[in-house]
Amino acid sequence: MQERIVITGMGTVNPLGLSVKESWDNLAAGVSGVAPITLFDSSPLQVHIAAEVKNFKPEDFMDAKEARRRDRYEQFAVASAKQALAQSGLEVTEANAGRIGVVISSAIGGLQSLQDAIITNYTEGPRRVSPFLIPMLMSNGGAGMTAIEYGIKGPSFSIASACASGSDGIGMALMMLRTGMIDAAVTGAAETTITSTGVAAFDRVGAMSRHNDDYSMTPQPFDKNRDGLVMGEGGAVIVIERESSARARGAEIFAELAGYGATADAYHVTAPDEHGAGGAAAIRMALASANANADEVGYINAHGTGTPLNDQAETRAVKAAFGAELAYKIPMSSTKSMTGHMMGATGALEAIFCVQAIRDGILPPTIHYQTPDPECDLDYIPNKAREAKISLAISNAFGFGGHNAVLAIRKYE
């Protein structure tokens, strides 16, 4: 029998708060993180809203000089990792440094740093490009800088699988622990795509909501009138380790990271398989990995972006994975209705939300839900959080390129 892998630390900075507690309190209360864009002048664009991280001061988490040499996404990664490691109490020593891994993912990396450098290159010349550009834009920067910060010498890397990056990274860390490659991991993701280029590009794909004037009611996952996602940003990191190690050092155990499943649609570079077959297969794989039955699942944290195709395909995936009768009984919500879509970081944050739902017996709502869609007819926990005691939750993350990743999180007893 496999030893259980447990979660002993969590950290995050995101549009709802600069800690797990602040974020969870706002999420349970149905607070939206969406507001007009302040990070840049959005007037030339057709989208003027986003879910930005507010009141973040990198010097609260790192040396001010180092902060200037890190892209915003890397700052989020390190800040989240510091919170998670502090909560876990896991001490990195010379003896264990090689047995700890760092898997902190990012779908895109330092997009703002790259955008700024391209402008500088063409307006001021190549000699004005920063010598720190490469470490600022590389998508493995968050992982590498966290490893350097703590002297962690085990495997350190980043997964890039679009919006599934965070969940895939956590899943890979789980696999390394299960195979005995490492004894503990610092894992999650960070993303900052709220730049003029990022917003313009996602809008040109047709994925973005343009409810600029009435942004208090967008995004609207699973609602008949949904018109697209709202871009978010942030970071989320957890510490996972062997149950025996956690218990030996007296660590508080928040939940068990029980399973992981991953598949590919092999269908289209941006659109999901309309039948949800790939997502359904990933759900079944995660449950098998957790040695769990479908009827044990008490909550699904949906990918739920608010785009017409995604929400419909995910609804079909859940029905295919659980069977129509059971699917209608499982509460399911999109927390992106409050955080926005944090791209590669979303799955990591939503894993934390699953832990909190299990611990507190509160299922977060899908806010902005007004008009039912006949094609999206499951229980989406509309508008108000719900009290429920659950022992197993799953988190769906489905990304561009047809990447599907699902995590299963179980109550620790």
Q: Can you give 179-229 as a three-state secondary structure string?
A: CCCCCEEEEEEEEECCCHHHHHHHHHHCCECCCCCCHHHCCCCCECCCCCE
Q: Could you tell me if residue 240 is inside a domain? A: yes
Q: Is residue 255 included in any domain, yes or no?
A: no
Active site residue 303: yes
Give the pLDDT of residue 272: 85
Q: Are 351 and 236 in contact (CB under 8 A)?
A: yes
Mean pLDDT of 76-98: 97
Confidence of residue 271 (pLDDT cuts 50, 70, 90): confident
In a domain, 244, yes or no: yes
User: Over the stretch 184-232, which tens digit does the pLDDT of each residue have?
Assistant: 999 999 999 999 999 999 999 999 999 999 899 999 999 999 999 999 9
Q: Kindly indicate the confidence band of residue 124, based on its pLDDT and cuts at 50, 70 and 90.
A: very high
Instruction: Mark whether 124 and 19 lie in a shared domain.
Output: yes
The CATH number of whichever domain residue 144 belongs to comes to 3.40.47.10
DSSP letters for 32-58: ---EE--SS--TTSS--EEB---S--G
Query: For the chain, what percent of residues have pLDDT higher than 90?
Result: 97
Domain-ending residue, one of 193, 217, 248:
248
Instruction: Tell whether 373 is covered by a domain.
Output: yes
The reply to whether 281 and 239 lie within a common domain is no
Res. 324 pLDDT band, cuts 50 70 90: confident
Specify the number of domains making up the chain. 2
> Which residues, in sequence order, are bridge partners of residue 185?
101, 240
211 and 93 assigned to the same domain: yes
What predicted TM-score, i.e. pTM, was given to this entire model? Answer: 0.97
Give the Cα separation of 383 and 395 in Å (integer).
19
Tokens read off for 163: 């919006």
- Which of these is catalytic: 211, 303, 368, 403? 303
Q: Does residue 60 sit within a domain?
A: yes
Catalytic residue, chosen from 163, 211, 376, 403, is: 163
Task: Single out the catalytic residue among 211, 341, 368, 403.
Answer: 341
Across the range 230-255, mean pLDDT stands at 97
Cα distance from N-terminal residue to C-terminal residue, the chain: 17
254 belongs to a structural domain: no
Residues 201 and 151 in one domain: yes
Radius of gyration of the chain (CA): 20
To the nearest 10 degrees (0 to 180), the angle between helices 196-205 and 111-123 is 110
Do 203 and 83 share a structural domain? yes
What's the CA gap between 126 and 115, in Å, rounded? 14
Mean pLDDT of the region 346-370: 98
Candidates 107, 85, 69, 204; CA nearest to 152 is 85
How far apart are the C-alpha atoms of 159 and 14, rounded to whole Å?
20
Q: Which domain holds residue 183?
A: 5-248
Looking at the structure, do residues 188 and 270 belong to the same domain, yes or no?
A: no
What pLDDT is stored for residue 269 in this prediction? 87
CB 183 within 8 A of CB 96: yes
| CA 408 remoteness from chain centre | 14
pLDDT of residue 145: 96
Residue 1 has pLDDT above 80, yes or no: no
| Catalytic residue check, 163 | yes
What mean pLDDT value characterizes the chain? 97
Q: In terms of DSSP bridges, do strands 35-36 and 49-50 run parallel, antiparallel, or are they unpaired?
A: antiparallel
Q: Is 265 buried (19+), middle (13-18) or exposed (0-12) by CB count in 10 A?
A: buried
Task: Give residue-wise pLDDT tens across range 10-68.
Answer: 999 999 999 999 999 999 999 999 999 999 999 999 999 999 999 999 999 999 999 99
- What letter represents residue 252's amino acid? E
Evaluate whether residue 253 is within a structural domain: no
- Looking at the fold, whether 295 and 191 belong to one and the same domain comes out as no
Which of 62-71, 152-161, 337-346 is least confident? 62-71
Whether residue 244 sits in one domain with residue 264: no
